[in-house]
Structure 1
């Protein structure tokens, strides 16, 4: 059985990516970490892909979905721009 079909490999990858997100913040690795965690849960439940390429496509789609959801939740807020009318040296 190939290693990429094991659920714990995906969960370990999710943990590594989440750790990278803590060290290098910016919501870059968090989408991939959530995608890997969801892929690990899918494999644990019993959903299996027929090949490595299909597994990577499912992982990519799950990561994209989690990134889009995070962008909606944590995205840029409107109306929070501070405009300065005077110079601090005046």
Structure 2
């Protein structure tokens, strides 16, 4: 039962954070934070989480979603950051 070991979730969090550095899309950072939260919850011994795969996956999913929403609000697209093209580069 590798999914119930806290350090496996921490290694997954580090791997996902590394993928975020290689492909910055802000989605992998949410998953990395979710994996870290799940690992910390397992380390602290949250009752019934180590014995229930569905509960562990639900905690991971909810933590990832919340983390992604927070990261998107903090680091997301800011007003004026998006370039709007009003003419084609091939037009003369």
Task: Report the TM-score, using the length of structure 2 for normalisation.
Answer: 0.81
Partners of 2:28 and 2:66 in 1: CA distance: 14
Identify unmatched segments of 5+ residues in structure 1: none
Distance 1:76 1:6, change over 3 A: same
Q: CA deviation at 1:80?
A: 3.7
Identify unmatched segments of 5+ residues in structure 2: 87-91
Partners of 2:58 and 2:84 in 1: CA distance: 44
Q: CA RMSD in A?
A: 2.3
1:76 aligned partner: 77
Distance 1:74 1:8, change over 3 A: same
1:24 aligned partner: 23
Aligned pair count?
89
Partners of 1:71 and 1:18 in 2: CA distance: 15
Partners of 2:31 and 2:19 in 1: CA distance: 11
Distance 1:9 1:71, change over 3 A: same
Partners of 1:23 and 1:81 in 2: CA distance: 22
Partners of 2:15 and 2:54 in 1: CA distance: 22
- Structure 1: which 4+ aligned runs deviate by more than 3 Å? 79-85
Distance 1:74 1:43, change over 3 A: same
Secondary structure class of the residue paired with 1:58: helix
